[in-house]
Structure 1
Protein backbone atom coordinates (compact mmCIF):
# COMPACT_ATOMS: atom_id res chain seq x y z
CA UNK A 1 0.00 0.00 0.00
CA UNK A 2 1.11 3.56 -0.63
CA UNK A 3 2.81 5.19 2.33
CA UNK A 4 1.39 8.27 3.99
CA UNK A 5 2.14 11.58 2.30
CA UNK A 6 4.68 13.81 3.93
CA UNK A 7 3.42 16.53 6.23
CA UNK A 8 6.35 18.86 5.70
CA UNK A 9 6.21 22.29 4.11
CA UNK A 10 4.10 25.35 4.92
CA UNK A 11 6.18 25.80 8.07
CA UNK A 12 5.24 29.46 8.22
CA UNK A 13 1.57 28.65 8.90
CA UNK A 14 0.51 30.63 12.00
CA UNK A 15 -1.02 28.77 14.94
CA UNK A 16 -4.81 28.48 14.63
CA UNK A 17 -4.76 29.02 10.89
CA UNK A 18 -5.57 25.36 10.30
CA UNK A 19 -9.25 25.82 11.19
CA UNK A 20 -12.06 26.65 8.79
CA UNK A 21 -15.68 25.53 8.33
CA UNK A 22 -18.11 25.88 5.44
CA UNK A 23 -20.89 24.49 7.64
CA UNK A 24 -21.22 23.80 11.35
CA UNK A 25 -21.78 20.18 12.34
CA UNK A 26 -25.48 20.90 12.81
CA UNK A 27 -25.72 22.57 9.40
CA UNK A 28 -23.91 19.66 7.78
CA UNK A 29 -26.28 17.19 9.42
CA UNK A 30 -29.26 19.14 8.09
CA UNK A 31 -27.89 20.04 4.66
CA UNK A 32 -25.82 17.06 3.56
CA UNK A 33 -27.10 14.87 0.74
CA UNK A 34 -27.02 11.15 1.40
CA UNK A 35 -25.91 8.79 -1.37
CA UNK A 36 -28.31 9.32 -4.29
CA UNK A 37 -27.71 6.03 -6.07
CA UNK A 38 -25.38 3.12 -6.79
CA UNK A 39 -21.79 4.26 -7.36
CA UNK A 40 -23.03 7.86 -7.19
CA UNK A 41 -20.84 9.26 -4.40
CA UNK A 42 -19.34 11.70 -6.92
CA UNK A 43 -22.68 13.04 -8.05
CA UNK A 44 -23.78 13.22 -4.40
CA UNK A 45 -20.75 15.36 -3.61
CA UNK A 46 -21.53 17.62 -6.58
CA UNK A 47 -25.05 18.23 -5.25
CA UNK A 48 -23.58 19.47 -1.97
CA UNK A 49 -20.84 21.48 -3.70
CA UNK A 50 -23.46 23.38 -5.67
CA UNK A 51 -25.60 23.80 -2.56
CA UNK A 52 -22.64 25.26 -0.66
CA UNK A 53 -22.03 27.69 -3.53
CA UNK A 54 -25.68 28.81 -3.63
CA UNK A 55 -26.75 26.80 -6.68
CA UNK A 56 -29.57 24.34 -5.97
CA UNK A 57 -29.76 21.42 -8.40
CA UNK A 58 -31.90 18.28 -8.22
CA UNK A 59 -29.89 15.13 -7.46
CA UNK A 60 -31.03 13.44 -10.68
CA UNK A 61 -29.74 16.41 -12.70
CA UNK A 62 -26.35 16.23 -11.00
CA UNK A 63 -26.15 12.49 -11.56
CA UNK A 64 -26.99 12.88 -15.25
CA UNK A 65 -24.41 15.64 -15.68
CA UNK A 66 -21.69 13.70 -13.85
CA UNK A 67 -22.49 10.64 -16.00
CA UNK A 68 -22.02 8.13 -13.20
CA UNK A 69 -20.84 4.76 -14.51
CA UNK A 70 -22.23 1.55 -13.04
CA UNK A 71 -20.69 -1.84 -12.38
CA UNK A 72 -21.68 -4.46 -14.96
CA UNK A 73 -22.30 -7.17 -12.41
CA UNK A 74 -23.86 -9.62 -14.87
CA UNK A 75 -21.00 -9.44 -17.37
CA UNK A 76 -18.31 -12.10 -17.90
CA UNK A 77 -15.14 -11.54 -15.87
CA UNK A 78 -13.14 -9.43 -18.41
CA UNK A 79 -15.96 -6.92 -18.93
CA UNK A 80 -16.84 -6.96 -15.23
CA UNK A 81 -13.26 -6.01 -14.36
CA UNK A 82 -13.28 -3.23 -16.95
CA UNK A 83 -16.51 -1.87 -15.48
CA UNK A 84 -15.07 -2.01 -11.97
CA UNK A 85 -12.00 -0.03 -13.02
CA UNK A 86 -14.18 2.95 -13.99
CA UNK A 87 -17.40 2.56 -11.96
CA UNK A 88 -18.60 5.76 -10.34
CA UNK A 89 -16.83 8.89 -11.57
CA UNK A 90 -13.42 10.51 -11.86
CA UNK A 91 -12.54 14.01 -10.65
CA UNK A 92 -12.80 15.17 -14.27
CA UNK A 93 -16.41 13.96 -14.40
CA UNK A 94 -17.15 15.82 -11.15
CA UNK A 95 -15.77 19.07 -12.56
CA UNK A 96 -17.61 18.66 -15.85
CA UNK A 97 -20.80 17.66 -14.04
CA UNK A 98 -20.69 20.66 -11.69
CA UNK A 99 -20.09 23.03 -14.60
CA UNK A 100 -22.92 21.55 -16.65
CA UNK A 101 -25.41 21.25 -13.78
CA UNK A 102 -24.76 24.86 -12.73
CA UNK A 103 -25.01 26.09 -16.33
CA UNK A 104 -21.43 27.30 -16.21
CA UNK A 105 -21.67 29.17 -12.89
CA UNK A 106 -19.33 26.77 -11.04
CA UNK A 107 -15.87 25.57 -11.96
CA UNK A 108 -13.40 23.22 -10.33
CA UNK A 109 -9.70 22.51 -10.19
CA UNK A 110 -8.16 19.18 -9.21
CA UNK A 111 -4.93 19.00 -7.21
CA UNK A 112 -3.01 15.72 -7.39
CA UNK A 113 -1.66 14.39 -4.09
CA UNK A 114 0.08 11.38 -5.61
CA UNK A 115 3.02 11.13 -6.07
CA UNK A 116 3.72 12.63 -2.66
CA UNK A 117 3.52 16.41 -2.39
CA UNK A 118 5.17 18.97 -0.16
CA UNK A 119 2.07 20.16 1.69
CA UNK A 120 0.46 20.23 5.11
CA UNK A 121 -3.02 19.12 4.24
CA UNK A 122 -5.17 20.77 6.93
CA UNK A 123 -3.62 24.28 6.71
CA UNK A 124 -3.76 24.09 2.90
CA UNK A 125 -7.45 23.12 2.95
CA UNK A 126 -8.20 25.77 5.60
CA UNK A 127 -6.77 28.58 3.47
CA UNK A 128 -8.96 27.67 0.51
CA UNK A 129 -12.09 27.05 2.62
CA UNK A 130 -11.77 30.43 4.34
CA UNK A 131 -11.76 32.04 0.91
CA UNK A 132 -14.97 30.23 -0.05
CA UNK A 133 -13.70 27.22 -2.00
CA UNK A 134 -15.54 23.92 -1.57
CA UNK A 135 -13.24 20.86 -1.46
CA UNK A 136 -14.08 17.31 -2.54
CA UNK A 137 -11.68 14.50 -1.64
CA UNK A 138 -11.15 11.63 -4.09
CA UNK A 139 -9.81 8.84 -1.90
CA UNK A 140 -8.67 5.26 -2.11
CA UNK A 141 -10.62 3.84 0.82
CA UNK A 142 -8.69 0.57 0.52
CA UNK A 143 -5.66 2.35 2.02
CA UNK A 144 -5.17 2.89 5.77
CA UNK A 145 -7.79 0.29 6.72
CA UNK A 146 -7.83 -0.24 10.50
CA UNK A 147 -6.50 -3.62 11.60
CA UNK A 148 -9.33 -6.14 11.75
CA UNK A 149 -11.69 -4.13 9.54
CA UNK A 150 -12.89 -5.45 6.19
CA UNK A 151 -11.21 -3.84 3.18
CA UNK A 152 -13.73 -1.48 1.53
CA UNK A 153 -14.85 -2.32 -1.99
CA UNK A 154 -14.31 1.02 -3.74
CA UNK A 155 -12.78 4.46 -3.89
CA UNK A 156 -14.92 7.32 -2.58
CA UNK A 157 -15.65 11.02 -3.17
CA UNK A 158 -16.61 13.10 -0.13
CA UNK A 159 -17.25 16.80 0.32
CA UNK A 160 -15.01 18.37 2.99
CA UNK A 161 -17.08 20.91 4.94
CA UNK A 162 -14.42 21.85 7.45
CA UNK A 163 -11.03 21.27 9.02
CA UNK A 164 -9.54 21.76 12.48
CA UNK A 165 -6.30 20.71 14.10
CA UNK A 166 -5.71 17.12 13.00
CA UNK A 167 -9.36 16.74 11.97
CA UNK A 168 -11.18 16.78 8.62
CA UNK A 169 -14.99 16.89 8.50
CA UNK A 170 -16.80 15.26 5.57
CA UNK A 171 -20.30 14.39 4.36
CA UNK A 172 -21.83 11.19 2.91
CA UNK A 173 -21.42 9.80 5.46
CA UNK A 174 -21.00 12.55 8.04
CA UNK A 175 -17.57 11.76 9.40
CA UNK A 176 -14.43 13.17 10.96
CA UNK A 177 -11.03 11.64 10.21
CA UNK A 178 -7.49 12.47 11.23
CA UNK A 179 -5.22 14.40 8.90
CA UNK A 180 -2.86 11.44 8.63
CA UNK A 181 -5.60 8.95 7.76
CA UNK A 182 -7.04 11.21 5.09
CA UNK A 183 -3.60 12.02 3.72
CA UNK A 184 -2.82 8.34 3.19
CA UNK A 185 -6.04 7.81 1.23
CA UNK A 186 -5.36 10.93 -0.83
CA UNK A 187 -1.87 9.73 -1.70
CA UNK A 188 -2.51 6.45 -3.52
CA UNK A 189 -1.64 4.84 -6.79
CA UNK A 190 -4.56 4.49 -9.21
CA UNK A 191 -5.29 0.86 -8.37
CA UNK A 192 -8.37 -1.00 -7.14
CA UNK A 193 -8.57 -4.23 -5.16
CA UNK A 194 -11.20 -6.74 -6.38
CA UNK A 195 -12.34 -9.34 -3.87
CA UNK A 196 -11.54 -13.01 -4.43
CA UNK A 197 -15.21 -14.04 -4.47
CA UNK A 198 -16.07 -11.40 -7.08
CA UNK A 199 -13.41 -12.87 -9.37
CA UNK A 200 -14.08 -16.56 -8.83
CA UNK A 201 -17.85 -16.40 -9.23
CA UNK A 202 -17.35 -14.97 -12.74
CA UNK A 203 -14.43 -17.16 -13.74
CA UNK A 204 -15.42 -19.77 -16.35
CA UNK A 205 -13.28 -22.48 -18.02
CA UNK A 206 -13.33 -20.60 -21.33
CA UNK A 207 -12.59 -17.21 -19.74
CA UNK A 208 -10.00 -15.24 -21.73
CA UNK A 209 -8.41 -12.14 -20.27
CA UNK A 210 -6.26 -11.31 -23.28
CA UNK A 211 -8.66 -8.44 -24.07
CA UNK A 212 -7.26 -6.66 -21.00
CA UNK A 213 -4.23 -5.67 -23.02
CA UNK A 214 -3.69 -2.00 -22.22
CA UNK A 215 -0.26 -1.26 -20.69
CA UNK A 216 -1.57 -0.62 -17.17
CA UNK A 217 -3.38 -3.97 -17.12
CA UNK A 218 -0.26 -5.70 -18.43
CA UNK A 219 1.98 -3.93 -15.91
CA UNK A 220 -0.13 -5.27 -13.03
CA UNK A 221 -0.29 -8.72 -14.70
CA UNK A 222 -4.01 -8.96 -14.02
CA UNK A 223 -4.25 -12.11 -16.14
CA UNK A 224 -1.47 -13.73 -14.08
CA UNK A 225 -3.17 -12.76 -10.81
CA UNK A 226 -6.43 -14.37 -11.93
CA UNK A 227 -4.61 -17.54 -13.05
CA UNK A 228 -2.88 -17.80 -9.68
CA UNK A 229 -6.22 -17.41 -7.89
CA UNK A 230 -7.75 -20.12 -10.09
CA UNK A 231 -4.82 -22.48 -9.41
CA UNK A 232 -5.27 -21.99 -5.66
CA UNK A 233 -8.89 -23.11 -6.02
CA UNK A 234 -8.09 -26.10 -8.25
CA UNK A 235 -5.36 -27.36 -5.94
CA UNK A 236 -7.43 -26.85 -2.79
CA UNK A 237 -4.45 -25.00 -1.41
CA UNK A 238 -4.32 -24.62 2.34
CA UNK A 239 -2.93 -21.59 4.11
CA UNK A 240 -2.65 -18.07 2.73
CA UNK A 241 -4.47 -17.36 -0.51
CA UNK A 242 -4.89 -14.23 -2.55
CA UNK A 243 -7.71 -12.23 -0.98
CA UNK A 244 -7.85 -9.71 -3.85
CA UNK A 245 -6.44 -8.97 -7.26
CA UNK A 246 -5.12 -5.50 -8.18
CA UNK A 247 -6.47 -3.79 -11.30
CA UNK A 248 -5.94 -0.30 -12.72
CA UNK A 249 -8.39 2.35 -11.54
CA UNK A 250 -9.62 5.29 -13.61
CA UNK A 251 -9.44 7.59 -10.59
CA UNK A 252 -6.61 9.79 -9.33
CA UNK A 253 -6.27 10.53 -5.64
CA UNK A 254 -6.38 14.18 -4.59
CA UNK A 255 -8.65 17.13 -3.89
CA UNK A 256 -10.92 19.09 -6.24
CA UNK A 257 -11.63 22.68 -5.21
CA UNK A 258 -14.83 24.28 -6.52
CA UNK A 259 -15.75 27.96 -6.75
CA UNK A 260 -17.97 30.32 -8.70
CA UNK A 261 -16.37 30.68 -12.12
CA UNK A 262 -16.67 34.46 -12.43
CA UNK A 263 -15.32 35.17 -8.94
CA UNK A 264 -11.75 36.21 -8.23
CA UNK A 265 -11.35 32.92 -6.37
CA UNK A 266 -12.58 30.94 -9.38
CA UNK A 267 -10.04 32.58 -11.64
CA UNK A 268 -7.26 32.03 -9.11
CA UNK A 269 -8.13 28.35 -8.83
CA UNK A 270 -7.92 27.84 -12.57
CA UNK A 271 -4.44 29.38 -12.72
CA UNK A 272 -3.05 27.88 -9.51
CA UNK A 273 0.04 25.68 -9.95
CA UNK A 274 0.15 22.03 -8.98
CA UNK A 275 1.34 21.29 -5.45
CA UNK A 276 5.12 20.74 -5.53
CA UNK A 277 6.41 17.18 -5.50
CA UNK A 278 8.12 16.10 -2.31
CA UNK A 279 11.87 16.39 -2.62
CA UNK A 280 11.82 18.72 -5.64
CA UNK A 281 12.61 22.03 -3.97
Structure 2
Protein backbone atom coordinates (compact mmCIF):
# COMPACT_ATOMS: atom_id res chain seq x y z
CA UNK A 1 0.00 0.00 0.00
CA UNK A 2 2.76 2.46 0.90
CA UNK A 3 4.58 1.78 -2.36
CA UNK A 4 1.39 2.43 -4.31
CA UNK A 5 0.76 5.65 -2.39
CA UNK A 6 4.27 6.82 -3.24
CA UNK A 7 3.64 5.99 -6.86
CA UNK A 8 0.37 7.94 -6.92
CA UNK A 9 1.83 10.97 -5.13
CA UNK A 10 5.30 10.66 -6.60
CA UNK A 11 7.32 13.66 -7.67
CA UNK A 12 7.63 15.26 -11.03
CA UNK A 13 5.52 18.06 -12.46
CA UNK A 14 3.98 16.71 -15.60
CA UNK A 15 1.81 18.43 -18.14
CA UNK A 16 -1.79 18.48 -16.95
CA UNK A 17 -0.84 18.16 -13.27
CA UNK A 18 -2.81 21.27 -12.36
CA UNK A 19 -5.92 19.76 -13.97
CA UNK A 20 -5.41 16.44 -12.17
CA UNK A 21 -5.38 18.15 -8.78
CA UNK A 22 -9.15 18.33 -9.16
CA UNK A 23 -9.22 14.54 -9.10
CA UNK A 24 -7.73 14.12 -5.62
CA UNK A 25 -9.85 14.03 -2.46
CA UNK A 26 -9.54 12.11 0.81
CA UNK A 27 -11.99 11.39 3.62
CA UNK A 28 -9.16 9.91 5.67
CA UNK A 29 -5.39 9.96 5.31
CA UNK A 30 -3.77 6.58 4.70
CA UNK A 31 -2.71 6.37 8.34
CA UNK A 32 -6.23 7.27 9.49
CA UNK A 33 -7.63 4.56 7.23
CA UNK A 34 -5.25 2.01 8.78
CA UNK A 35 -6.37 3.03 12.25
CA UNK A 36 -10.07 3.59 11.64
CA UNK A 37 -11.15 0.99 9.11
CA UNK A 38 -13.34 -1.88 10.32
CA UNK A 39 -12.28 -5.40 9.47
CA UNK A 40 -14.95 -7.73 8.07
CA UNK A 41 -17.42 -8.26 10.93
CA UNK A 42 -18.86 -11.59 9.80
CA UNK A 43 -19.61 -14.00 6.96
CA UNK A 44 -21.00 -12.19 3.89
CA UNK A 45 -21.08 -8.97 5.97
CA UNK A 46 -18.99 -6.66 3.78
CA UNK A 47 -22.03 -4.42 3.39
CA UNK A 48 -22.62 -4.10 7.12
CA UNK A 49 -18.87 -3.54 7.59
CA UNK A 50 -18.99 -0.67 5.09
CA UNK A 51 -21.98 0.82 6.92
CA UNK A 52 -20.02 0.83 10.21
CA UNK A 53 -17.27 2.86 8.53
CA UNK A 54 -19.74 5.16 6.75
CA UNK A 55 -21.34 6.08 10.07
CA UNK A 56 -17.93 6.47 11.68
CA UNK A 57 -16.85 8.86 8.91
CA UNK A 58 -20.05 10.88 9.47
CA UNK A 59 -19.51 11.07 13.23
CA UNK A 60 -22.05 8.42 14.25
CA UNK A 61 -20.64 5.54 16.31
CA UNK A 62 -22.57 2.28 16.04
CA UNK A 63 -21.68 -1.19 17.32
CA UNK A 64 -20.90 -3.59 14.44
CA UNK A 65 -23.59 -6.04 15.59
CA UNK A 66 -26.19 -3.27 15.50
CA UNK A 67 -25.16 -2.30 11.97
CA UNK A 68 -25.36 -5.93 10.86
CA UNK A 69 -28.81 -6.31 12.42
CA UNK A 70 -30.05 -3.20 10.64
CA UNK A 71 -28.56 -4.21 7.29
CA UNK A 72 -30.04 -7.72 7.68
CA UNK A 73 -27.13 -9.55 6.08
CA UNK A 74 -28.22 -12.72 4.29
CA UNK A 75 -26.09 -15.85 4.54
CA UNK A 76 -25.26 -18.64 2.13
CA UNK A 77 -26.87 -22.02 2.82
CA UNK A 78 -23.96 -24.36 2.11
CA UNK A 79 -25.73 -27.50 3.40
CA UNK A 80 -28.86 -26.95 1.29
CA UNK A 81 -29.77 -28.94 -1.85
CA UNK A 82 -28.55 -27.40 -5.10
CA UNK A 83 -31.66 -25.31 -5.99
CA UNK A 84 -31.85 -23.73 -2.52
CA UNK A 85 -28.07 -23.29 -2.41
CA UNK A 86 -28.12 -21.38 -5.71
CA UNK A 87 -30.98 -19.18 -4.48
CA UNK A 88 -29.04 -18.41 -1.30
CA UNK A 89 -25.96 -17.50 -3.32
CA UNK A 90 -27.93 -15.07 -5.47
CA UNK A 91 -28.99 -13.08 -2.35
CA UNK A 92 -26.10 -13.67 0.08
CA UNK A 93 -24.73 -10.54 1.72
CA UNK A 94 -26.65 -7.33 1.06
CA UNK A 95 -27.84 -5.06 -1.72
CA UNK A 96 -27.29 -1.31 -1.90
CA UNK A 97 -30.90 -0.86 -0.74
CA UNK A 98 -30.12 -2.84 2.42
CA UNK A 99 -27.07 -0.63 3.05
CA UNK A 100 -29.15 2.54 2.72
CA UNK A 101 -31.86 1.21 5.01
CA UNK A 102 -29.30 -0.16 7.46
CA UNK A 103 -27.41 3.14 7.70
CA UNK A 104 -30.65 5.04 8.22
CA UNK A 105 -31.91 2.70 10.96
CA UNK A 106 -28.56 2.26 12.71
CA UNK A 107 -28.09 6.05 12.85
CA UNK A 108 -31.58 6.71 14.15
CA UNK A 109 -32.52 8.44 10.92
CA UNK A 110 -29.53 10.79 10.90
CA UNK A 111 -27.88 9.36 7.76
CA UNK A 112 -29.29 9.14 4.25
CA UNK A 113 -27.92 7.31 1.24
CA UNK A 114 -28.39 7.64 -2.49
CA UNK A 115 -27.41 4.96 -4.99
CA UNK A 116 -26.06 5.87 -8.42
CA UNK A 117 -26.24 3.14 -11.07
CA UNK A 118 -23.12 2.68 -13.18
CA UNK A 119 -24.61 -0.08 -15.35
CA UNK A 120 -25.40 0.31 -18.16
CA UNK A 121 -22.30 2.39 -18.78
CA UNK A 122 -22.62 6.04 -17.77
CA UNK A 123 -21.06 9.21 -19.13
CA UNK A 124 -18.82 9.96 -16.15
CA UNK A 125 -15.18 10.26 -15.18
CA UNK A 126 -15.27 8.03 -12.11
CA UNK A 127 -12.41 9.53 -10.09
CA UNK A 128 -13.33 13.13 -10.87
CA UNK A 129 -17.00 12.44 -9.96
CA UNK A 130 -16.05 10.72 -6.68
CA UNK A 131 -13.61 13.52 -5.80
CA UNK A 132 -16.29 16.15 -6.23
CA UNK A 133 -18.66 14.39 -3.81
CA UNK A 134 -15.93 13.50 -1.30
CA UNK A 135 -14.80 17.14 -1.13
CA UNK A 136 -18.38 18.07 -0.26
CA UNK A 137 -18.33 15.56 2.61
CA UNK A 138 -20.17 12.59 1.09
CA UNK A 139 -19.02 9.07 1.97
CA UNK A 140 -19.00 6.64 -0.99
CA UNK A 141 -19.48 2.87 -0.90
CA UNK A 142 -18.71 0.95 -4.08
CA UNK A 143 -20.80 -2.14 -4.92
CA UNK A 144 -18.62 -4.12 -7.29
CA UNK A 145 -18.68 -7.39 -9.17
CA UNK A 146 -15.25 -8.67 -8.16
CA UNK A 147 -15.51 -11.46 -10.74
CA UNK A 148 -14.73 -8.86 -13.41
CA UNK A 149 -11.19 -7.63 -14.07
CA UNK A 150 -9.69 -10.57 -12.15
CA UNK A 151 -5.88 -10.50 -12.41
CA UNK A 152 -4.57 -12.86 -15.08
CA UNK A 153 -3.51 -16.20 -13.65
CA UNK A 154 -5.50 -15.77 -10.43
CA UNK A 155 -8.67 -17.60 -9.49
CA UNK A 156 -11.89 -15.72 -10.23
CA UNK A 157 -13.26 -14.35 -6.92
CA UNK A 158 -16.36 -15.99 -5.48
CA UNK A 159 -18.58 -12.96 -4.81
CA UNK A 160 -19.49 -9.33 -5.24
CA UNK A 161 -18.14 -6.86 -2.66
CA UNK A 162 -19.04 -3.59 -0.92
CA UNK A 163 -16.11 -1.33 -0.02
CA UNK A 164 -15.98 2.14 1.48
CA UNK A 165 -14.01 4.56 -0.70
CA UNK A 166 -11.88 6.71 1.59
CA UNK A 167 -10.18 8.66 -1.16
CA UNK A 168 -9.25 9.06 -4.80
CA UNK A 169 -6.26 10.38 -6.72
CA UNK A 170 -5.63 10.64 -10.47
CA UNK A 171 -6.24 7.15 -11.83
CA UNK A 172 -6.64 5.53 -8.38
CA UNK A 173 -9.39 4.63 -5.92
CA UNK A 174 -8.56 3.90 -2.24
CA UNK A 175 -10.80 1.52 -0.29
CA UNK A 176 -11.17 -0.26 3.03
CA UNK A 177 -11.93 -3.90 3.97
CA UNK A 178 -9.37 -4.74 2.83
CA UNK A 179 -7.24 -1.61 2.71
CA UNK A 180 -6.55 -1.47 -0.99
CA UNK A 181 -6.02 0.68 -4.05
CA UNK A 182 -7.54 -0.06 -7.43
CA UNK A 183 -6.90 1.61 -10.73
CA UNK A 184 -9.74 3.79 -11.98
CA UNK A 185 -10.16 1.52 -15.01
CA UNK A 186 -10.32 -1.68 -12.93
CA UNK A 187 -12.76 -0.25 -10.36
CA UNK A 188 -14.96 1.27 -13.04
CA UNK A 189 -15.14 -2.07 -14.84
CA UNK A 190 -16.28 -3.81 -11.65
CA UNK A 191 -18.81 -1.04 -11.03
CA UNK A 192 -20.36 -1.56 -14.46
CA UNK A 193 -21.67 -5.11 -14.36
CA UNK A 194 -24.80 -7.01 -15.19
CA UNK A 195 -26.50 -8.48 -12.13
CA UNK A 196 -25.10 -11.98 -12.44
CA UNK A 197 -22.92 -14.24 -10.30
CA UNK A 198 -20.57 -17.05 -11.34
CA UNK A 199 -20.89 -20.22 -9.23
CA UNK A 200 -17.83 -22.46 -9.28
CA UNK A 201 -18.07 -25.84 -10.95
CA UNK A 202 -17.16 -27.76 -7.82
CA UNK A 203 -19.83 -25.95 -5.78
CA UNK A 204 -22.44 -27.11 -8.27
CA UNK A 205 -21.32 -30.69 -8.83
CA UNK A 206 -20.88 -31.57 -5.16
CA UNK A 207 -24.57 -30.71 -4.61
CA UNK A 208 -25.88 -32.28 -7.81
CA UNK A 209 -27.81 -35.49 -7.00
CA UNK A 210 -29.68 -37.90 -9.32
CA UNK A 211 -33.04 -36.64 -8.06
CA UNK A 212 -32.08 -32.94 -8.22
CA UNK A 213 -34.84 -30.84 -9.80
CA UNK A 214 -34.09 -27.28 -10.84
CA UNK A 215 -37.56 -26.57 -12.24
CA UNK A 216 -38.37 -24.76 -8.98
CA UNK A 217 -36.06 -21.96 -10.19
CA UNK A 218 -38.94 -20.61 -12.26
CA UNK A 219 -38.37 -16.85 -11.97
CA UNK A 220 -38.04 -15.32 -15.47
CA UNK A 221 -34.49 -14.15 -14.69
CA UNK A 222 -33.47 -17.72 -13.89
CA UNK A 223 -35.29 -19.10 -16.91
CA UNK A 224 -33.60 -16.55 -19.18
CA UNK A 225 -30.18 -17.83 -18.10
CA UNK A 226 -31.28 -21.48 -18.56
CA UNK A 227 -29.85 -22.67 -15.25
CA UNK A 228 -31.16 -26.19 -15.89
CA UNK A 229 -29.38 -26.31 -19.23
CA UNK A 230 -26.12 -25.00 -17.77
CA UNK A 231 -26.13 -27.62 -15.00
CA UNK A 232 -27.09 -30.39 -17.43
CA UNK A 233 -24.18 -29.41 -19.68
CA UNK A 234 -21.82 -29.44 -16.71
CA UNK A 235 -22.97 -32.97 -15.78
CA UNK A 236 -22.50 -34.17 -19.37
CA UNK A 237 -18.96 -32.80 -19.38
CA UNK A 238 -18.17 -34.99 -16.37
CA UNK A 239 -19.30 -38.08 -18.29
CA UNK A 240 -17.07 -37.28 -21.26
CA UNK A 241 -13.87 -37.80 -19.34
CA UNK A 242 -11.15 -35.69 -17.72
CA UNK A 243 -9.43 -34.59 -20.93
CA UNK A 244 -12.40 -32.77 -22.45
CA UNK A 245 -12.95 -29.02 -21.93
CA UNK A 246 -15.17 -28.20 -18.98
CA UNK A 247 -17.24 -25.18 -17.96
CA UNK A 248 -15.66 -23.37 -15.00
CA UNK A 249 -18.87 -21.79 -13.75
CA UNK A 250 -22.65 -21.68 -13.85
CA UNK A 251 -24.05 -18.16 -14.26
CA UNK A 252 -27.02 -17.25 -12.06
CA UNK A 253 -28.94 -14.00 -11.45
CA UNK A 254 -27.68 -11.80 -8.61
CA UNK A 255 -29.74 -9.52 -6.39
CA UNK A 256 -27.06 -6.81 -6.47
CA UNK A 257 -26.76 -3.74 -8.69
CA UNK A 258 -23.35 -2.34 -9.53
CA UNK A 259 -22.69 1.29 -8.70
CA UNK A 260 -21.87 3.73 -5.90
CA UNK A 261 -23.94 4.68 -2.86
CA UNK A 262 -23.19 8.13 -1.44
CA UNK A 263 -24.03 8.81 2.21
CA UNK A 264 -24.46 12.10 4.08
CA UNK A 265 -26.22 13.51 7.13
CA UNK A 266 -29.90 13.64 6.16
CA UNK A 267 -30.65 17.13 7.48
CA UNK A 268 -27.59 18.76 5.92
CA UNK A 269 -27.52 20.72 2.69
CA UNK A 270 -25.42 17.93 1.23
CA UNK A 271 -27.99 15.33 2.25
CA UNK A 272 -30.71 17.23 0.42
CA UNK A 273 -28.46 17.71 -2.61
CA UNK A 274 -27.71 13.99 -2.75
CA UNK A 275 -31.35 12.95 -2.59
CA UNK A 276 -32.26 15.41 -5.35
CA UNK A 277 -29.31 14.66 -7.65
CA UNK A 278 -30.23 13.16 -11.05
CA UNK A 279 -29.01 9.78 -12.23
CA UNK A 280 -25.75 9.78 -14.13
CA UNK A 281 -26.46 10.06 -17.89
CA UNK A 282 -26.16 6.98 -20.06
CA UNK A 283 -23.46 6.80 -22.68
CA distance in 1, matches of 2:241, 2:43: 35
The counterpart of 1:242, out of the listed 240, 244, 247, is: 247
Partner secondary structure for residue 55 of structure 1: coil
In the alignment, what sits opposite 2:272?
267
Query: CA-to-partner distance for each residue in 1:212-253, whole Å, 9 max, x for gaps?
Result: 011110111111000000111123252320010000000000
> Where do 1:205-220 residues align within 5 Å?
205-220=210-225
> Where do 1:112-123 residues align within 5 Å?
112-123=117-128
In the alignment, what sits opposite 1:252?
257
Query: CA-to-partner distance for each residue in 1:134-180, whole Å, 9 max, x for gaps?
Result: 00000000000111010000000000000000010000000001000
In the alignment, what sits opposite 2:185?
180
> Given the alignment of the two structures, is residue 88 of structure 1 paired with residue 93 of structure 2, yes or no?
yes
Post-superposition offset of 1:40: 0.1
Instruction: Using structure 2 for the length normalisation, give the TM-score.
Output: 0.93
> Given the alignment of the two structures, is residue 26 of structure 1 paired with residue 49 of structure 2, yes or no?
no
CA distance in 1, matches of 2:138, 2:157: 29
CA distance in 2, matches of 1:24, 1:240: 48
Partner secondary structure for residue 51 of structure 1: helix
* Alignment root-mean-square deviation, CA: 0.9
In the alignment, what sits opposite 1:10?
none
Provide runs of 4+ in structure 1 moved above 4 Å. Answer: none
**Contact (CA 8 Å) 2:237, 2:245: kept in 1 or not?**
no
> Given the alignment of the two structures, is residue 51 of structure 1 paired with residue 53 of structure 2, yes or no?
no
Q: How many residues align?
A: 266
Instruction: Using structure 1 for the length normalisation, give the TM-score.
Output: 0.94
CA distance in 2, matches of 1:90, 1:15: 33
In the alignment, what sits opposite 1:124?
129
Post-superposition offset of 1:14: 4.2
**Contact (CA 8 Å) 2:72, 2:98: kept in 1 or not?**
yes
Higher helix share: 2
The counterpart of 2:77, out of the listed 61, 72, 80, is: 72
> Where do 1:30-41 residues align within 5 Å?
30-41=35-46
CA distance in 2, matches of 1:174, 1:243: 29
> Given the alignment of the two structures, is residue 17 of structure 1 paired with residue 49 of structure 2, yes or no?
no
Partner secondary structure for residue 153 of structure 2: coil
